[in-house]
Structure 1
């Protein structure tokens, strides 16, 4: 009999579905069949069941944080059961130890962490039985049955286990030692730092450095006014505008020069010197990897990357989409061969009837979609042949499934074709440019976009015709700073961090390992940075805290702030995962690196001097929310709260929270509370159970509120 060990309960159920089975409490029994001659027992983990023993449990002397005890370099790493997972480990161990079980099938997610989760449980059980590996990227019954008929020798995937183990040891060495070193040193240098812990990590710290760098660019930005010269032409009965453009530049930063040009051109003769129309094809977008799906969902639905991964994972476990933790935008020919069947089934779902039934091409020979060289362990996220009843999906699941389904359908349409037109009209030696854009062939676009922007049509004029510059005016604008990242943009920046680097060799390394972090871990990194109070989300964009500025200043010019460490690290880990490099050498190098990081931190700390920049008053701060109940001055948005604008002048300390029981209090509701004494009904407060209520004043003078229920 075989024992199958899955990574989680929902995955176990999907693996059992193709076979006659019965659930027996903490495991599933599969009846004898062609695939399992003697039947099988199926148990599941609940994610990781084990963790590396923390320092103070290895040595009680390490419970107190002291520089003298660093670096902490264990001779051997020990594991212990995560306390909340004890019963789950017991259930899995009972199945593995069953005397009737003669072979174990490792059936975790097809990735290095899935390999580690299952193999570690088997090893920690003290059981030594033959093992094989199930490798499947789709949990449809058909794919599962096929995968069980093609089990891999465990030796084929053992390098992934060594890769994951090496990664966990090395991350422990760097994280534990660097976090203690920087925390102790920063606390000694920063008055009022209290007991803040400055956690450091090889991926999270360079990611945070991206956020802090962008914030510094915003804070250091000096806004400048600029001027553009726009002429209105009368020519052949047509009236149109053109903007002064020379060598693709339209702006003047000296008003006098712009004004002189305006006066020189006003009312003068104008000649059309060039009329150009160029048709450009725009191909359908690529299939989605996890990071592109997360970026898209963040932009369109404002989903956090973590939420998108959780939803897509749920759809995968229901067998509706393929494995989500992938960095590929391509599929193999084997997957592409199933597209006609999937499209036929999608055409029977109401939202896709028209588009899936009327596709205009095959992608089988299109390397933008089908290319085995661009697929490593996992291919792009696509719908499976198992169709959902859309009404059975949650609203959020419907949104993500819709994005994935439409990406497949759109790929089976031709390119969109746009006509890009331009008119160059000269007033003497001064060129003015007019541009337009018109959609000629919609191609794939209606599949993804319900409506198109209006075409910008140009007048029908010909080269050599002469008219008049009836009116020439100055249009004033102001330069704007770069925007903060959205979470989706930050995921993309992490993935693309190798592009545009001055160090070309390092850039190639980072590109080869897909930048900072892995597809499956980037959303967790962002969540951890929020939990550690390094960054917050303000108006759907990522803002670093004062704590973040302090840490990044401390690690400046070290490997910890640079993508180089994680790039080189991931490069070596991938070599271990392919069986091309030994894990023990990498771990020894990590021990030496931990020693160096502690030494460098102590040495650099002698030069530390922390100054946290004051954030510029956001644009919304100048917009009054309402009158202050204490002093009558305007209440404005202060970022993390609403507060009285007169704090600096009169020390009025009135504040109003911006978040309560997990729900943000919008400016609209804050205005209603200040003006009418109560908000609209706010849905989804998170108490013992979610509830809906209005906020009303409890004490208007100090800004405290209470709930008023329907």
Structure 2
């Protein structure tokens, strides 16, 4: 009887598989072996794509004459630093006594790619081996055993494997061709401007698009002109409590659709606001009459669960942690069995998981910060109907469900950093919150008339805390108006009269767009370049974004290491560098489409279609080769050197003199002259 070979992505994961199998293993060099099983591991990628000079020595020297480089057959090679482990894994794959291979690399496109490259390079005779794919959502013993028991034939993941190969080929061809092309064509323009020896222009399918988003946002801020406006606000006496009202020039107002208004609630000139106050102050008696009153309850439901992008955004906002660091933390929590698979785009649970969710809850009873909430959920049985809520939806899950606590391995929290423990608590609170009712607010909206003009007021008070007590860990910190005022407003009716204590002008001004921070950039990438603040709307329009949950943090990290953008670690704000703006201008005048988020997202969508079997690899490659060839040919026949100098001058004024890598100066936003 042959042996089963289990191949994990990392040594630590291999150890968990060996433990779960409960076999007596002997540790050997690079693997563990028992009478029936062998467990080994990669160390991330063992095989990579070969550089162009491996195809032909002529490609070693960068030359426009050798572009575009579009090989018919791609070459691969073992990464020298991990050659020893590759040889170990390769020999195990080809051992005659191994008849079944269990692929246990991370359950996703990249994990698929890691294994298939090794199998390809090891020249495994796949006709003589059974190959099974283990697909798991956490590293608990129960989930590992379930994954092994339900492992499907590897061939069922061939489309996913094809998409993985294509993603690598796409990044390779665009990176190699466009980086060489633009470096040779315009690198000297940048070097001469910055007075440096040489400049390599690094271009990437996703990286360049993200750079474009950051540069464009910075330029929007520079070009923004602040517009001042003046609001008229009333102060009303409501049975001893003070109520504010805001003037709006709605239909019926003497100022309705007046060109003197910036918007319906603000004047362009202060003297016009003063004129309104003068007219209203002449009214006798000086009072406000209730024209309309509306009372209603507002429900605020618990948010959906975390996927990686949402978690990265929240960690950036709350803890000022970069997306890259968040990914490292949640990956560590995953490997310690504390949370489920982190590289997920889903924000819901599967029906299968929902049926067993009491196990996660029971385990969380032992987590001190949230244990009482988990116990309460179990005691009241709130979890029993979770499958019928919006938090469970099989159609919204592709590879993995949302990130949730497993309820296991709590002892491992003692070995993680305080910051990692905070992230775990954040995940636990978000998870537990979905078993609690909505927060309920009482809201009263009021329209009062002073003379012939209308003023609008609103008051909102939290009546039932619901899930907020779980997710905040304390009493809700949301803005709440005085409960006494709400009580008094409840007594009002149409025709009620309120004393006007005064009218005043409040000056405001339009605000420029916000710079991206590391978290909001991840969300913008997930939503194909759109920064959508509203969580519900994000879910409605979500499709294939820029990059994937597994790669977005790495893209930002690369842009920072290339010194194309700068990250303020305290605020997590992202700004371009002068070099980054110059790279943007080079791409803009040569291959502008690389800066287009929608186009970049469409490439990612194409990979999804390959993984789903909707289009073939050949169809995808034909389009990819055509894109690279036509864009390369266009650049070879253009000359933008003179135009670029003007663009560089326009950007340089915003940076310290001569500062190649300096962060952007604080942009002065112009105020519109009156």
Q: How many residues align?
A: 613
- CA spacing shift, 1:350–1:238, aligned 2, 3 Å: closer
Aligned to 1:517: 547
Task: Determine the C-alpha separation between the residues in 2 that align with 1:489 and 1:534.
Answer: 18
1:410 matched to 2:440? The reply is: no
Counterpart pick for 1:100 among 81, 93, 97: 97
1:559 matched to 2:572? The reply is: no
Aligned to 1:374: 396
Counterpart pick for 1:69 among 66, 69, 86: 66
Task: Determine the C-alpha separation between the residues in 2 that align with 1:568 and 1:203.
Answer: 11
Task: Determine the C-alpha separation between the residues in 2 that align with 1:377 and 1:79.
Answer: 27
* Superposition RMSD in Å: 2.7
CA contact (8 A) 2:520 2:531 kept: no
Higher relative contact order (CA 8 A, sep 6+): 2
- CA spacing shift, 1:132–1:365, aligned 2, 3 Å: closer
Counterpart pick for 2:566 among 521, 529, 536: 536
Counterpart pick for 2:415 among 392, 396, 401: 392
User: CA shift at 1:490, angstroms?
Assistant: 0.3
1:119 matched to 2:116? The reply is: yes
Task: Determine the C-alpha separation between the residues in 2 that align with 1:109 and 1:451.
Answer: 39
Aligned to 1:469: 500
Task: Determine the C-alpha separation between the residues in 2 that align with 1:639 and 1:456.
Answer: 45
Aligned to 1:688: none
- CA spacing shift, 1:560–1:151, aligned 2, 3 Å: same
Secondary structure of residue in 2 paired with 1:434: strand
Secondary structure of residue in 2 paired with 1:432: strand
User: 1:125-159: per-residue Cα shift (whole Å, max 9, x none)?
Assistant: 12214122111121110111121122211111122
Counterpart pick for 2:294 among 260, 276, 283: 276
User: 1:25-74: per-residue Cα shift (whole Å, max 9, x none)?
Assistant: 4344354xxxxxx5111111111111111123322222222222211122
Aligned to 2:219: 216
Counterpart pick for 2:237 among 234, 237, 242: 234
User: 1:151-189: per-residue Cα shift (whole Å, max 9, x none)?
Assistant: 211111122221111221122111111111122222244
Aligned to 2:27: 24
Task: Determine the C-alpha separation between the residues in 2 that align with 1:183 and 1:322.
Answer: 43
CA contact (8 A) 2:567 2:573 kept: yes
1:266 matched to 2:281? The reply is: yes
Secondary structure of residue in 2 paired with 1:364: helix
- CA spacing shift, 1:27–1:617, aligned 2, 3 Å: closer
CA contact (8 A) 1:160 1:576 kept: yes
- CA spacing shift, 1:153–1:58, aligned 2, 3 Å: same
User: CA shift at 1:348, angstroms?
Assistant: 2.5
Aligned to 1:699: none
User: CA shift at 1:419, angstroms?
Assistant: 1.3
Counterpart pick for 1:456 among 481, 493, 504: 481
Counterpart pick for 2:581 among 534, 539, 549: 549
Task: Determine the C-alpha separation between the residues in 1 that align with 2:598 and 2:207.
Answer: 13
CA contact (8 A) 2:321 2:572 kept: no
Task: Determine the C-alpha separation between the residues in 1 that align with 2:150 and 2:665.
Answer: 61
Task: Determine the C-alpha separation between the residues in 1 that align with 2:521 and 2:442.
Answer: 33
1:580 matched to 2:614? The reply is: yes
CA contact (8 A) 1:575 1:581 kept: yes
Moved more, 47-56 or 180-189: 180-189
User: CA shift at 1:524, angstroms?
Assistant: 0.8
Moved more, 490-499 or 534-543: 490-499
Task: Determine the C-alpha separation between the residues in 2 that align with 1:89 and 1:127.
Answer: 13
Moved more, 483-492 or 367-376: 367-376
Counterpart pick for 1:46 among 25, 43, 50: 43
Task: Determine the C-alpha separation between the residues in 2 that align with 1:140 and 1:541.
Answer: 37
Task: Determine the C-alpha separation between the residues in 1 that align with 2:31 and 2:172.
Answer: 35
Structure with the largest fraction of helix: 2
Task: Determine the C-alpha separation between the residues in 1 that align with 2:272 and 2:395.
Answer: 56
Moved more, 606-615 or 200-209: 606-615
CA contact (8 A) 1:27 1:41 kept: no
Secondary structure of residue in 1 paired with 2:391: coil
Aligned to 1:132: 132
User: CA shift at 1:456, angstroms?
Assistant: 0.5
Task: Determine the C-alpha separation between the residues in 1 that align with 2:665 and 2:70.
Answer: 48
Task: Determine the C-alpha separation between the residues in 2 that align with 1:239 and 1:111.
Answer: 58
TM-score for the superposition, normalised by structure 1:
0.81
**Structure 1: runs of 5+ lacking an equivalent:** 32-37, 502-506, 622-637, 644-710
CA contact (8 A) 1:228 1:243 kept: yes
- CA spacing shift, 1:423–1:220, aligned 2, 3 Å: same
Map 1:70-219 to 2 at 5 A: 70-128=67-125, 129-130=128-129, 131-190=131-190, 191-193=192-194, 194=196, 195-219=198-222
- CA spacing shift, 1:84–1:330, aligned 2, 3 Å: same
CA contact (8 A) 1:26 1:43 kept: no
User: 1:376-429: per-residue Cα shift (whole Å, max 9, x none)?
Assistant: 111111111424123333212211211111122110001111112222222112
Aligned to 2:11: 9
User: CA shift at 1:498, angstroms?
Assistant: 6.7
User: CA shift at 1:489, angstroms?
Assistant: 0.2
TM-score for the superposition, normalised by structure 2:
0.85
Moved more, 596-605 or 148-157: 596-605
User: CA shift at 1:97, angstroms?
Assistant: 3.1
User: CA shift at 1:551, angstroms?
Assistant: 2.5
- CA spacing shift, 1:136–1:257, aligned 2, 3 Å: same
Aligned to 1:674: none
CA contact (8 A) 2:229 2:268 kept: yes
User: CA shift at 1:23, angstroms?
Assistant: 5.3
User: CA shift at 1:640, angstroms?
Assistant: 4.6
Secondary structure of residue in 2 paired with 1:110: coil
Map 1:589-628 to 2 at 5 A: 589-606=623-640, 608-609=643-644, 610-612=646-648, 613-614=650-651
Counterpart pick for 1:479 among 500, 506, 510: 510
